[in-house]
Amino acid sequence: MPHIFVQSTRLWFTDAGTGPTIILIHGFPLDSRIWDEVVPLLTPTRRVITLDLRGFGQSDETGSFSMRQLAFDVAGFITLQKIGPCCVAGLSMGGYVAQELASESHELLSHLILLDTKAESDNPDAQNKRNEMAAIAREQGAKAVADQMMPKMLSRNHSAAVEGKLRTIMESQRPETIASACIAMRDRETYLPTLEKMSIPVDIIVGEEDAISSPELMRFMHERINYGRMFEIPGAGHLSPMENPQAVAKAILMGTENL
Ligand code: MLT
């Protein structure tokens, strides 16, 4: 699978299928492997691109970055590949990147899908927790971060296989990248004003048992959006594409049937 230079950084991506283009953006502290089970369900009718954000997965390590930088990377990718306007779907931190992209470069988007994410910025308590998590990453490494996050990521009755894969993905991320992402998330602005004025469809997808971005929180977002549908995914927590890929793929296909 290929790499591409965007903003002087080598980003790793996969590209499969035919049809309208959807770019899938992973969450924190993860990489494109969270979409492994969803991609083959979409590719018969969609061109599906997964992207490892800078520093994550197989993309090159860089210094510190902001949420805006991550969005510039996606904008650069869309421009270089000449695939805009297209659909961008982001999960959790990937949803922050997608919303940042919507506020900076909305002309590159035809459709936005927000999975298990939030629109509002961190309050002071959440910001302190970001600082603590950044310190844990730097001082104790990715495994200690995974230990902290694991209990909040999956539904009550999750499978051991999904838990094992999720842990493998989290533990393989670079501690410096994890710390930089914590600081970038800590400093992000609210995206509610952007969502409220979006004139393209914005779909919401949330695991019924998401303990980080609850269905209530995401319904609040949905109610502020002009066009778009909301899908609740049964048997899934925060990592809905890993826990119920069939239902997530169905929601993505239904939401984008008019692309
Ligand atoms: C994620 O899954 O990307 C994170 O939980 C996002 C966050 O901590 O705000």
In the prediction, which pLDDT does 1 show? 64
Average pLDDT over every residue of 19-25: 98
Centre of ligand 1 to C-alpha 39, Å, is 21
Residue whose structure tokens are 């902290």 = 148
pLDDT in tens, 84-98: 999 999 999 999 999
pLDDT of 255 > 90? The answer is no
Contacts of 2 (CB under 8 A, 6+ apart): 12, 13, 15
The 10 Å Cβ neighbour count of residue 159 is 13
Q: Could you tell me how many helices (H) and strands (E) the chain has, helices first?
A: 11, 8
The mean pLDDT of 113-125, rounded to a whole number, is: 97
CB of 21 closer than 8 Å to CB of 43? no
Ligand 1 center to 96 CA (angstroms) = 9
Closest ligand 1 atom to 239 CA = 2
What percentage of the chain exceeds 70 in pLDDT? 100
Give residues (CB < 6 A) around ligand 1: 27-28, 92-93, 185, 212, 238
DSSP 16-84: E-SSSEEEEE--TT--GGGGTTTHHHHTTTSEEEEEPPTTSTTSPP-S---HHHHHHHHHHHHHHHT--
Give 203-234 pLDDT, tens digit per residue. 999 999 999 999 999 999 999 999 999 999 99
Q: Could you tell me the two tokens for 119?
A: 């629109």
Mean pLDDT of the chain: 97
Using the mean position of ligand 1's atoms as its centre, give its distance from the Cα of residue 213 in Å. Answer: 8
Atom from ligand 1 closest to the CA of residue 185: 9
Site to substitute for ligand 1 among 189, 212, 217, 218, most atoms within 8 A of C-beta: 212
CA of 149 to the centre of ligand 1 (A): 9
Distance 35 CA to ligand 1 centre (A): 16
Segment 45-74, tens digit of pLDDT: 999 999 999 999 999 998 899 999 999 999
